[in-house]
């Protein structure tokens, strides 16, 4: 009887561990909402969202972004691991600088190397309360 209880306990633990792992994986793809001024596309083909607080970051993955440049928008989507996920065209110069550790200081001060893949766009205003990042 003890062996059966141990087996049952181990099976319960295994099911719990699998469900926790699955939940952690799905939470990393949870939809987020960000609001700010949209500009772009930049030299890499990505759009840039400048929130009212914090640094600007690259957004993409939705063809309708081009219709909202210069507007305040509310974007829904997920954080991407790379620019390629949002349709960014990394230039050879950028790849070389990344590999050698060089940085374009002006670009890095203005835009954080974070990427947001847009699934939905909500128009907030035809204008931005702060200047758009170029």
Same domain, 38 and 81: yes
In a domain, 132, yes or no: no
Distances (CA, A) of 8 to 16, 54, 77: 12, 50, 41
Residue 113: predicted pLDDT: 83
Residue 16: predicted pLDDT: 47
Helix (H, G, I), strand (E, B) or coil at 82: coil
In a domain, 133, yes or no: no
Residue 29: predicted pLDDT: 73
Number of domains in the chain: 2
Same domain, 25 and 37: no
Same domain, 49 and 88: yes
Query: What does the alpha-carbon distance between residue 95 and residue 100 come to, in Å, rounded to a whole number?
Result: 9
Residue 63: predicted pLDDT: 93
Same domain, 23 and 80: no
Give pLDDT tens digits along the chain (134 positions).
566 766 665 555 445 445 444 444 545 579 999 999 999 999 899 999 999 888 999 999 999 999 999 999 999 999 999 999 999 886 544 444 444 444 454 444 457 789 999 999 999 999 997 555 55
* Strand 111-125 with 56-60, pairing: parallel
Residue 3: predicted pLDDT: 65
Same domain, 42 and 23: no
* Contacts by residues 52-58 (CB-CB < 8 Å, ≥ 24 positions apart): 52/129, 52/130, 54/112, 55/110, 55/111, 55/112, 56/110, 56/111, 56/112, 56/133, 57/111, 57/112, 57/113, 57/114, 57/115, 57/116, 58/83, 58/86, 58/88, 58/111, 58/113, 58/114, 58/115, 58/116
Query: What does the alpha-carbon distance between residue 15 and residue 56 come to, in Å, rounded to a whole number?
Result: 42
Same domain, 44 and 87: yes
Write phi, then psi, for 88 (nearest 5 degrees). -70, 135
Query: What does the alpha-carbon distance between residue 120 and residue 74 come to, in Å, rounded to a whole number?
Result: 8
Instruction: For residue 81, give its domain range.
Output: 32-125
Name the DSSP letter for residue 59: E
């Amino acid at each position: 009887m003890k062996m059966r209880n141990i087996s049952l306990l181990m099976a319960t633990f295994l099911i719990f561990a699998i469900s926790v792992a699955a939940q952690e994986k799905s939470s990393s793809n949870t939809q987020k909402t960000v609001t700010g001024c949209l500009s772009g596309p930049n030299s890499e083909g990505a759009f840039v969202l400048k929130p009212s607080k914090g640094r600007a970051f690259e957004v993409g993955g939705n063809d309708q972004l081009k219709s909202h440049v210069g507007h305040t928008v509310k974007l829904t989507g997920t954080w991407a691991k790379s620019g390629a996920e949002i349709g960014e065209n990394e230039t050879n110069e950028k790849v070389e600088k990344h590999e050698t550790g060089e940085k374009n200081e002006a670009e890095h001060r203005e835009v954080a190397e974070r990427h947001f893949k847009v699934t939905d766009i909500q128009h907030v205003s035809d204008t931005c309360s702060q200047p758009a990042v170029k």
